[in-house]
Amino acid sequence: MDYNFAFVLRYQDALLVGLKMTVLVSLASIAIGCLWGFVLGMARGSSLRWARALATVYIEFFRGTPVIVQLFWVFFCLPLLLGIELSNMASGIVALSLYMGAISAESFRAALKTISPDQHNACVALGLSRYAEIRYVLMPQAILRAIPTLLSNCVSLFKESALVSAVGMADLMFVGQNISNATARPVEVLTVVALIYFVIAFPLTRGVTVLERKVLKGLAV
């Protein structure tokens, strides 16, 4: 059997469209998921017992169930429960954002814990509202301090995003699968698809280590 990787080039346009979809869904889910994760992280460290409990249950549930089950649940069950029809794309982003919220919440909680409670006293003494305190004091520091772990969360999400192909979204994985079925050349096509994922994810993983050193050094109080 001889392999011909060059023929994959003929499908580069289709693969590119798929990659765009993958990147779009990932970025949207990362943005929404991080905001949601920050809220969950705050709730996790809150002094309100019910907020802590709710956030804990949510996070454990989403981390303890397969992402593909969550995805199918959002696709098939959520519309039935809410009585509204969501587009494929919207469902994919909702499902992945819910997951991203759960995995980034721990990163935010850990980062928030490193912010000294003295800063809260200072905020009160300066007359800052709770909103201003969160927006201008807590959130920027939590994000900065969480960057290293958030980046690995992002890499995980980017890889997990391939699951949306299972519900018919035309992402990189979906396009690759179609080409591989149509041409009966799974080895070449799927290898190329894997390489594309790797080429994007790998620098991000590396970047984590570099950033970790730089960011954390700058923040030493």
Partner 1 sequence: MMSTNTSAPLVSIRGLHKAYSPTVQVIKGIDLDMHAGDRLVVIGPSGGGKSTLLRVLMGLETIDKGSIAFDGQPYIQADEARGKTSIDTKVRNSIGMVFQNYTLFPHLTIVENLILAPCKSRGEKESVAKDRALTFLTRFGLRDKATVYPSQLSGGQKQRVAIARALMLDPKLMLFDEVTSALDPELVAEVEQVIQQLALQNLSMMIVTHDMWFAKNIASRVLFCAGGTIVEDGPPEQVMGAPREERTREFLSRVFHIGA
For the record, the structure tokens of 180 come out as 């591989």
The CB-of-88 to partner 1 minimum distance in angstroms stands at 40
Category of 156 on φ-ψ map: left (φ > 0), alpha (ψ -120 to 50) or beta? alpha
| Residue 141, amino acid | Q
In angstroms, the CA 172 to CA 175 distance is: 5
Q: Where are the beta strands (DSSP E) in 64-190?
A: none
The CB-of-163 to partner 1 minimum distance in angstroms stands at 36
Torsions phi, psi of 115, nearest 5?
-85, 125
The CB-of-133 to partner 1 minimum distance in angstroms stands at 9
Q: Which is nearer to partner 1, 50 or 131 (CB)?
A: 131
Question: How far is residue 198 from each of residues 123, 158, 191, 192, 193, measured CA to CA in Å?
Answer: 44, 10, 10, 10, 9
The CB-of-71 to partner 1 minimum distance in angstroms stands at 36
Q: Which is nearer to partner 1, 114 or 181 (CB)?
A: 114
List of residues contacting partner 1 (CB under 8 A): 116, 118-119, 121-122, 124-129, 132, 136-137, 140-141, 144, 218-221
CB 29, CB 96: distance < 8 Å: yes
Q: Which is nearer to partner 1, 48 or 124 (CB)?
A: 124
CB 205, CB 155: distance < 8 Å: yes
Q: Which is nearer to partner 1, 6 or 221 (CB)?
A: 221
Q: Which is nearer to partner 1, 128 or 166 (CB)?
A: 128
The CB-of-17 to partner 1 minimum distance in angstroms stands at 40
Give the closest residue to 193 by CA, choosing from 162, 166, 164.
162
The CB-of-64 to partner 1 minimum distance in angstroms stands at 34
